[in-house]
Structure 1
Amino acid sequence: MSRPTVGGHLRDYWAGLRGGDLGTLPAVLGLLVLILIFGSARGETFLSALNFANLFNQSAQIVFIAMGLVFVLLLGEIDLSAGFGSGVCGAVMAILLTDHGLPWTVAIPAAMCTGVVIGIVLGLLVAKLGIPSFVVTLAAFLGFQGVLLTLLGGGRNVAINDEFVTSLNNGTLSVRASWLLAVAGVAGFALVRLLRWRGRVARGLVAEPIGLVLARIVGLAALVLPATWVLTLERAVNTQITSLKGTPIVVPVIVTFLVIGTFVLNRTTFGRHVHAVGGNVEAARRAGIAVDRIRVAVFAIASFMASIGGILVVSRQSSVDPNTGGSNILLYSVGAAVIGGTSLFGGKGKIIHAVIGGAVIIVIENGMTLLGLNSGVKFIFTGLVLLAAASVDALARRRAAASGG
């Protein structure tokens, strides 16, 4: 049996690009351009180890909400309540920790369960009553603001002092743990890729050329190891008072959920059903897929991920207030998923899209702040980037339809 070559894969990839299957390429190129622009303008601050680490902490809430929204967007639905939903979940955790004195082992699961319940309710309203998701989640967007105000007694700020919770989005791993994590991550990726390649070859199935598999492994190592080196540099402003070096704790948290989410979408029956429903609802129903259950499940997953985002933002701020999860969080989260490559029309999306898109969003926010630009300019530029991403998606779909894809 003939095996595909690296050249053949490259030709197929180029044909896919010409046919409208752009994937993450626009987002990655855009991210590189933004880094070059801000790095040239404010290299001493933007490219510093301190700012690099802060980007992970700043983007955590947006990335997690966006990862959940990918599941919803895959069905061609939308969840406008995810931002304030994350705020409600964060408030539940903070109130249990501070007002009731419960340990984090109770408060964090309670916040997560709150997110799941919210998602199930939203999903049932969409799936069983047939109310458009835009209307349901818009109503929830307004309602959760009221719930948040009620939980916080009208407008108070609830501070948290639990060391474990505050360390989630403020703490760092030790230098040794940072390197162990990086090496283990690359080694684990290499092991999975090589075992998958060997398994397919042994069963006589079509497999990627070994050269391409090795190139992927080397590419990940070239990305992870230098990043780890930067994160293990000393970045404390005053080293005589304290030392600050090591990978932020939130990084392995993001990576863990990225791996789990990718596995669920790509390697499980549920993931295949999500893609099938997003591609063609009627065909999926005729194939025996429980469409309503899939709808409820994706909303539950989205709200669960929003609860993680709420936990992390409360951890970073060490408090919760009526604005937690509000402001531009929802718009930035939807923008992150779309900018990363997830289609607004359903049927196309990956968890990695949320991470890459979140990086684009936070780099714009961070870089423009360092340049001293006002909020008006930041909103205009971010809106233009989102519009460009949506335009690329629409044009790609048109090109794919024209080429028969």
Structure 2
Amino acid sequence: MKIPQPDGTFTEHTPGTPRAWARPATPPSARIAYAAAHVVADRFGENTPGAPAAVDWESTLAFRRHLCSYGLGVAEAMDTAQRGMGLDWAATRELIRRSAAEARACGGRIAAGAGTDHAPEASTVDEVVHAYLEQVAVVEDAGARVILMASRQLAAVAAGPGDYHAVYGRVLGQVSAPVILHWLGPMFDPALEGYWGSAGLDAATESFVALVTEHAAKVDGVKVSLLDAAHEVRLRRALPAGVRLYTGDDFNYPALIRGDEEGHSDALLGVFAAIAPAASAALQALDAGDLAGYREVLEPTVPLARHLFAAPTYYYKTGIAFLAWLSGHQPGFTMVGGLASGRSVVHLAQAYRMADALGLLPDPELAADRMRAFLTVAGVA
């Protein structure tokens, strides 16, 4: 197969052999690991920019069963599922309900995002609190752990750190079980610039740690997506005892999950949806105390992760969905909100070549056929 390159040339690629990935009898235990899952668009739906999301529920839930079969938890209704980028609240609410039921059926771990995106008109602190609590109720009623997502509405109305503390303090005061707080950086969502009340990372971190410390009894952990490994380690060490740090660093996850003599990060990663078999194998090795085996499996996946999450990072969902299509997890390469156009043909072709080289494509012949068809439609076959 000829794979297009950025300079207009082609490179030869021979489809490889899939690796035999072992499914664990029980979920890995040395680390808690969630894969942030994407949604599969209904290929017959009107999934154009601005249109209500039409979801292929059968394929969407089958993908979650796939993650569960490798012992990974599901982080539902987050940015990987296109919150704020095509997945409207009506579809999100149904997604949370259905996914939580699937998790119960397979005995898997599930956490789901609660935000304020259904209330774009929220213009005061009180209105943001009310919006959060509406979505928290949906997640709790479904039986999932709450992930308090960063709020574009709060970022717009907050006058400083005090407003963030007021909103989160009131919400945390009403949740029924400890939650995961999500710090999503502006590389994932530019509307979140200056979150926690400061554009400076040190000041924002100080405010964030103070908030977590004050409400530690209501915080299971914090999910940090800043793509800054050194900062994550410093933050991890500053958190109060008992509060986990779930890495969202899709660039540096092997070292952060492995940890050091002072601790480790658990995982809540979008890239784990794309590399689920490898992530599971690495965590199984970690359970067995086989650090060399852990590194051997997980570290070679980093170049693929860095490619998928390259700038503009917020379009990483396109590559995740593309690899799911190549792997046979969905019938077509379609996305809600028309986001299938979020990455170039060359970018996606490179993602195919890298995933194939890692042995992550379970049916190389199917993947190659689909890749050829995609390149033909794009005019670069």
| TM value normalised by structure 2 | 0.26
Structure with bigger helix share is: 1
Higher relative contact order (CA 8 A, sep 6+): 1
Larger radius of gyration: 1
Structure with bigger strand share is: 2
